[in-house]
Structure formats: structure tokens, C-alpha cells
């Protein structure tokens, strides 16, 4: 998408969002997002972020490390998951609490239509 914040862009995003939700499962949408999301300058996808920040493949991330990566997504240019600041630590703690409340059953349900 183009980087502007206009009503036209929002309309185009809405159009594509509706199509994606019709064609793909929630698990597929999440997978695509995690493969392209920017975690910093020139750092795209959770696999690249996992290798850069923790030196391990994404499939081996601990829940804490995954929460640290998720904590930077509102602004990956301003925040980094490692070394942790008190703000990232607090956000990661909140994310872990949400993960525990949702539980593994919710994660499994992401793939169901």
C-alpha cells in the first residue's frame, strides 16, 4: 500500500480486507501478516526479527521472546525487543497475560472458518 493516510487509502484497505476475510482463514491472515510486518529498518517478518534479535529461528521463540517482538509492533522504529526497556517489559508482560487468558484452544480455533 501507499504510505498516505487519506480516505481513499482507507477505502482501498477496507476493500482488500473484506476480500481477504472472505478468502482466507484467520490463521492464514495472521501468517501473512507475520511474514511481512516490519520490525525495524529493513527488518521484515517474524523470522528475520527472531534471527536478528535472538539468534534463533521463529519456531523456537519462547513465549516471552514472542511477546517482546509483539510489544514493538506499534512503532518498531522507536522500540526494539532487545535489550528490553521498562516499557517493552511492561507491554510484553501484558501480552503474555493476554496469551494465557486466551489459551491454546483459541490459537487452534484461528484456523477454523
pLDDT for res 107: 62
In sequence order, which residues have a C-beta less than 8 Å from that of residue 12 and are 6 or more positions away? 1
The set of residues, in sequence order, having a beta carbon less than 8 Å from that of 54 and lying 6+ positions away, is 61, 65, 82
pLDDT above 70: residue 3: no
Confidence of residue 4 (pLDDT cuts 50, 70, 90): low
In a domain, 1, yes or no: no
Q: What is the CATH number of the domain that holds 64?
A: 1.10.3810.10
Q: Over 90: is that where the pLDDT of 36 sits? A: yes
- Residue 58 maps to a domain: yes
* pLDDT the model gives residue 27: 85
> Could you tell me if residue 104 is inside a domain?
yes
Number of domains in the chain: 1
DSSP H stretches of helix in 24-58: 26-36, 46-54
- Percent of the chain scoring above 70 in pLDDT: 90
Which residues constitute the domain of residue 70? 7-109
Q: Quickly state the pLDDT bin for 88 (edges 50, 70, 90).
A: very high
The answer as to whether 23 is a domain residue is yes
> What pLDDT is attached to residue 104?
75
Amino acid at each position: 500500500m501507499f504510505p498516505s493516510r487519506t480516505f481513499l487509502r482507507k477505502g482501498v484497505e477496507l476493500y482488500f480486507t473484506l476480500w481477504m476475510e472472505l478468502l482466507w482463514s484467520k490463521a492464514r491472515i495472521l501468517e501473512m501478516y507475520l511474514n511481512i510486518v516490519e520490525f525495524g529498518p529493513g527488518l521484515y517478518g517474524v523470522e528475520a526479527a527472531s534471527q536478528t534479535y535472538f539468534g534463533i529461528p521463529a519456531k523456537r521463540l519462547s513465549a516471552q521472546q514472542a511477546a517482546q517482538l509483539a510489544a514493538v509492533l506499534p512503532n518498531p522504529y522507536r522500540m526494539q525487543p532487545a535489550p528490553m526497556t521498562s516499557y517493552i517489559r511492561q507491554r510484553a508482560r501484558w501480552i503474555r497475560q493476554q496469551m494465557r487468558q486466551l489459551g491454546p484452544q483459541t490459537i487452534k480455533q484461528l484456523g477454523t472458518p
